[in-house]
Amino acid sequence: MCEKLKCIDDLLEDAWDFRCPRYRVSIFVRIKIYDDLVDFLGGKGINPQYTLGDINYRLDKMINIATIVYNNKYRDDAYRIEEKDKQPKVVAMKFMDKRRNDRLYCREIDYGKGKDVIICEIHMGKKSESLTKKEKNIIKRTRSYEFEILT
């Protein structure tokens, strides 16, 4: 069954100026986790001033990561490929703030003239540098999603 997606490029408007003109990149999120992503960006559970629907707590970090993504680059400290030898490609957006190590696990779908990055899983509180069994299961689940992207 194909997952429904929502494009979140409009949330990342501050990163648009950094897009590569010859390579189109868009960022999507699974509809099923869109509200959880908004809570994540708002810092639910870690932001003492958390307000429902306010995404500003982590939005600057998300815009910094989007700038890397829109330029078709990778950086180990912010956006990197997980398990490089396996397909389909899974990447992690890293949010290391407030002594936390949270991740957004994403699928990349490359189509030659560009790619779509789909946020599939939110993982809070990664505890070790290496991938634990829990992270490997999240990555495996991220690989298993099927999408239909309408352009």
Crossing angle for the helix pair 34-42 and 56-70, to the nearest 10 degrees:
110
- State the average pLDDT over residues 120-143: 92
| More confident of the two residues 29 and 98 | 29
Computed over every residue of the chain, the mean pLDDT equals: 90
d(CA 18, CA 135): 31
Measured at the alpha carbon of residue 115, what is the angle toward residues 113 and 120, in degrees to the nearest 5?
A: 170
Which tens digit of pLDDT belongs to each residue from 68-127?
999 999 999 999 999 888 999 999 999 987 678 899 999 999 988 999 999 999 999 888
Q: Is 115 helix (H, G, I), strand (E, B) or coil?
A: strand
Instruction: Give percent helix, percent strand, percent coil of the chain, each to the nearest 5.
Output: 30, 30, 40
Could you check whether the bond before residue 48 is cis, i.e. omega within 30 degrees of 0?
Answer: no
Measured at the alpha carbon of residue 32, what is the angle toward residues 26 and 38, in degrees to the nearest 5?
A: 70
- Give the whole-number percent of the chain exceeding pLDDT 70: 97
- CB of 104 closer than 8 Å to CB of 122: yes
pLDDT value of position 97: 73
* This model's pTM is above 0.85: yes
